[in-house]
Amino acid sequence: MRATFVLGRIAGVRVGVHWSVLVIFGIIALGLSQGHLPETYPGRSWAVYWVAGLCTAVVFFVSLLAHELAHAVVARRNGVEVDDIVLWLLGGAARLKSEASSPGAELRIAGVGPLVSLLLGGLFTLGAWLLDLVSAPGIVVEMVAWLAGINVLLALFNAVPAAPLDGGRLLRAFLWWRTGDRLRATAGATTAGRAFGWLLVLLGLIAFVTSGAFGGLWLALIGWFLIAAATAEGRQAQLRGVLAGVPVQDAMTPEPLTVPADTTVADFLTGARYRYRHSAFPATDDGAPVGLVTLDSARKVPQAEARVVTVREVMVPLSETTVVEPDSPLADLLPRMEPGAENRVLVVDDDTLVGIVSLSDVSRTVTWLMNTTSGRRGDL
């Protein structure tokens, strides 16, 4: 999940927001301002309800961000680098560059999120009680009480032992500790995740059919998301097993064709050396990589401006491009790769570009390894 726009960095971690956040933000704000708050405290103006609903929705997302930041901070303390945090439709996700090195580290990284949400729930509960004691406006007390309940609910839901929830990570840590096999542990957690997802889908559909409640469809949507995410996580775990011990240099395309960053877009698009070969090219400055330019981004430049605009102005800068070393584990690169030409990975060794990696490169490597393994088994 790529961020639509970046908010900035907190504790050294890049924080982004996907456009789908607007959907859940709108649902929360609308539900509070036009439903819950008017029913609980009638007689206020519509402006009061809307301000209260919007403020509560904002604080909720700050709470969600705190949950994800806790994962990121603890991951770093346990030697796991963090790519970024992205808030989106169904919550948030901290993208880790690699996996935990031990069951204990996995336990700490996964467990801190629900603990933070539970702590926030307790603090908001205390805040609501104190506000009620000092006779604060009832609508303010209700806002804080709602935040207390939703954070406790978030903690409990995430603690369910089913991937990809935090509880699924805790289950994987336990199974990993018991069996000593991370792959088997992941398989167990993903199976639990799919089972829990189907349960939510079933309950949601039953609720919608019997009562017509929109909440039933929302529950079914969450269940479907869990099924898809758990399945994807299981497949990725299998791929990591196949790619164990394989360095990036074994899958990369070596010595890729590059384009100088100061080349105009017109020259880039019409240059014979860039035709019919690739959809993305590393951009360089004095031979050093500075970004990644795609044909699609270049073609979006109006023809009248193409002879003035340079590749540097339309490329994905190096700071937003995934960069790895040639001897980095290919398996650790998998969680950071996404479809799309703009998501190519640059392989750099001592500030020198030595290769580029796409999902097709990884797929080709996996196919070769699986065929090789099958061939060896057939010879036995």
d(CA 300, CA 178): 54
Is 68 catalytic? The answer is: yes
d(CA 1, CA 18): 8
For residue 49, count other CB atoms closer than 10 A to its CB.
Answer: 21
Q: Which of 164, 172, 73, 177 is nearest to 115 (CA)?
A: 73
**Radius of gyration from C-alpha coordinates of the chain:** 24
For residue 259, count other CB atoms closer than 10 A to its CB.
Answer: 21
Q: Rounded to the nearest 5°, which phi and psi values hold at 281?
A: -135, 140
Q: Is 145 helix (H, G, I), strand (E, B) or coil?
A: helix
Rounded (5°) CA angle 8-13-16: 45
Cα pseudo-dihedral 224, 225, 228, 234, rounded to 10: -120
Rounded (5°) CA angle 155-161-163: 100
Backbone angle region of 91, left / alpha / beta, with phi > 0 → left and psi within -120 to 50 → alpha: left
Write out the E strands in the chain: 5-10, 13-17, 82-88, 91-96, 253-254, 259-260, 280-285, 288-294, 316-317, 323-324, 345-349, 352-357
d(CA 357, CA 336): 12
> Dihedral sign, CA of 216, 92, 63, 76?
positive
Task: Given the residues 39, 68, 255, 313, select the one marked as catalytic.
Answer: 68
Q: Which residues are catalytic?
A: 68
